[in-house]
């Protein structure tokens, strides 16, 4: 690591593991350098006290979605570092207790229970995957502890209750974006869909895309399913090939999409693949190789955005993370943490009701992944970008406004 996190953060931040160490973390999916925060033994003491405010974070630091959790953690760490360097909140330093949920919703829910009962956090940041956020939201809402998901886009997440917020757009919009792009930009008439039936996110996006694409005059030739963690998609792809689509919508996560792309090409399916934000990972290129070239996906942010505020964030993030360019997860997590800090500053105290009310009032907040105004349903209404994949990287194509 080129630069270590400042002493202060290193001393205060604690990384804990949510579950017993059944397996050794493999480091799989760690596109970015590992922890900026020291790992402590499970259940290690939280540096609580009158001079600190403890936040909770739940993320996939290992497992199938590990790059999501690692990027998010790095984004949150940067936001806290900056806030603490500027004096913290009303003279108190901010610390974050991080739990790894291993990309599993059940672990994510357990982590929330621990954050609330053991660590006594005032607010929870996370998760990325909608299925995990749904499991967490249930617990946070029941306990009256506000939760902000940076990046879960399934609409039902914030419907869990008035303590649950998000700083990103939702899938009814994201699905529309790619349906519109497929029809109007790519001029596709016939598209097949391949969904992950273990993911609330994927199921939700499939439904919206099918509906919107049809509304725009397109035809869905067929819909096939897989389960997260599968490795052989040939049967589904063969079935899809028979329907002769001009494109395939694959609203899954990078870990499966990369492999799907390779197998599709092997079977002679050369049409463009399309997806959503779940594709956003350096690992997609490793797994998909050139098979993913010529594909498109919708996302929250593009590092090509010339806005000086975005470029400053990218430079600061790179400096702390070995030169890694922040992805959408990092940007949204940075924004979520800053929205939380802003609410902490405005709230009269750190009780659940006071914080919840302060977060709900978030308006015109200048995030690096777009300006954040929370609506009555505690969602942010923002534009989406469409990115094209070529030569192992993404490039900005267009922005679609709500
Ligand atoms: N939107 C995805 C979900 O709800 C998570 C995600 C967001 C993944 C942004 C990558 C980038 O499950």
Query: Both 20 and 153 in a single domain?
Result: yes
Ligand 1 atom nearest the C-alpha of 151 is: 7
Q: Which residues line ligand 1 (CB under 6 A)?
A: 68, 128-130, 151-154, 201, 277-278, 280, 328-329
Q: How many domains does the chain have?
A: 2
Q: Which of 274, 299, 324 is the last residue of a domain?
A: 299
Ligand 1 atom nearest the C-alpha of 153 is: 4
For a mutational test of ligand 1's pocket, the pick from 151, 154, 206, i.e. the residue with the most ligand atoms closer than 8 A to its C-beta, is 151
Gap from CA of 99 to ligand 1 centroid (Å): 18
Taking the C-alpha atoms of residue 263 and residue 259, their distance in angstroms, rounded to an integer, is: 6
402 falls within a domain: no
Helix (H) or strand (E) holding 298: strand 295-299
81 falls within a domain: yes
Domain ranges, residue 65: 6-169+307-382
Gap from CA of 256 to ligand 1 centroid (Å): 14
Ligand 1 atom nearest the C-alpha of 300 is: 9
Helix (H) or strand (E) holding 132: helix 130-143
The DSSP string of 250-263 is: --S-HHHHHHHHHH
Query: Both 118 and 261 in a single domain?
Result: no
Query: Both 69 and 82 in a single domain?
Result: yes
Ligand 1 atom nearest the C-alpha of 152 is: 4
For a mutational test of ligand 1's pocket, the pick from 66, 128, 281, i.e. the residue with the most ligand atoms closer than 8 A to its C-beta, is 128
Query: Both 33 and 151 in a single domain?
Result: yes
The pLDDT value given to residue 48: 57
Gap from CA of 8 to ligand 1 centroid (Å): 31
Query: Both 180 and 260 in a single domain?
Result: yes
CATH of the domain at 286: 3.40.50.2300
Query: Both 354 and 268 in a single domain?
Result: no
Query: Both 285 and 369 in a single domain?
Result: no
Gap from CA of 18 to ligand 1 centroid (Å): 21
State the alpha helices, DSSP H only, in 155-251.
171-180, 200-215, 234-242
Taking the C-alpha atoms of residue 60 and residue 57, their distance in angstroms, rounded to an integer, is: 10
Gap from CA of 277 to ligand 1 centroid (Å): 5
Question: From the first residue on, what is the mean pLDDT of each consecutive set of 10 residues in the chain (402 residues)?
Answer: 39 38 33 33 50 97 96 98 96 97 98 97 98 98 98 98 98 98 98 98 98 98 97 98 98 98 98 98 95 98 94 98 97 98 97 98 97 97 96 94 93
392 falls within a domain: no
Q: Residue 398 is encoded by which pair of tokens?
A: 């267009």
CA distances from 371 to 20, 220, 335, 384, 388 (A): 40, 34, 10, 12, 23
327 falls within a domain: yes
Ligand 1 atom nearest the C-alpha of 150 is: 7
The pLDDT value given to residue 50: 75
Query: Both 154 and 32 in a single domain?
Result: yes
Query: Both 320 and 266 in a single domain?
Result: no
Angle between helix axes 254-266 and 234-242 (nearest 10 degrees) is: 60
32 falls within a domain: yes
Provide the CB-side half-sphere exposure for 401 (13 A, CA): 1
Query: Both 230 and 339 in a single domain?
Result: no
């Amino acid at each position: 690591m080129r630069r270590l996190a400042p002493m202060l953060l290193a001393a205060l931040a604690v990384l804990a593991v949510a579950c017993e160490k059944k397996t050794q973390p493999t480091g799989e999916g760690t596109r970015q350098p590992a922890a900026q925060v020291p790992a402590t033994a499970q259940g290690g003491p939280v540096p609580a006290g009158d001079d600190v405010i403890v936040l909770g974070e739940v993320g996939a630091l290992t497992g199938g979605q590990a790059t999501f959790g690692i990027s998010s953690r790095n984004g949150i760490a940067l936001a806290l570092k900056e806030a603490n360097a500027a004096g913290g909140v009303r003279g108190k330093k901010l610390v974050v207790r991080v739990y790894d949920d291993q990309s599993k919703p059940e672990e994510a829910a357990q982590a929330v229970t621990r954050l609330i009962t053991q660590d006594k956090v005032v607010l929870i940041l996370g998760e990325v995957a909608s299925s995990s956020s749904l499991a967490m939201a249930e617990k946070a809402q029941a306990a009256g502890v506000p939760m902000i998901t940076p990046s879960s886009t399934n609409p039902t997440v914030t419907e869990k209750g008035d303590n649950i917020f998000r700083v990103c757009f939702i899938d009814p919009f994201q699905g529309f974006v790619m349906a519109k792009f497929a029809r109007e930009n790519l001029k596709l008439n016939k598209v097949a869909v391949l969904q992950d039936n273990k993911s609330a996110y994927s199921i939700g996006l499939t439904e919206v895309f099918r509906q919107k694409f049809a509304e725009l005059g397109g035809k869905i030739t067929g819909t096939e399913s897989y389960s997260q963690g599968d490795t052989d998609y040939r049967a589904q792809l063969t079935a899809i090939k028979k329907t002769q689509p001009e494109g395939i919508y694959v609203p899954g996560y990078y870990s499966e999409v990369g492999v799907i792309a390779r197998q599709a090409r092997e079977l002679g399916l050369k049409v463009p693949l399309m997806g959503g934000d779940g594709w956003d990972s350096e690992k997609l290129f490793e797994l998909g190789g050139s098979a993913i070239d010529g594909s498109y996906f919708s996302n929250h942010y593009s590092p090509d955005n010339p806005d000086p505020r975005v470029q400053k964030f990218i430079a600061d993030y790179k400096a702390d993370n070995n030169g890694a360019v922040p992805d959408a997860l990092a940007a949204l997590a940075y924004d979520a943490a800053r929205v939380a800090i802003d609410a902490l500053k405005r709230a009269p105290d750190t009780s659940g009701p006071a914080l919840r009310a302060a977060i709900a009032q978030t308006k015109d907040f200048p995030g690096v992944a777009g300006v954040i105004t929370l609506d009555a349903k505690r969602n942010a209404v923002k534009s989406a970008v469409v990115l094209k994949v070529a030569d192992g990287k993404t490039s900005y194509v267009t922005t679609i406004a709500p």
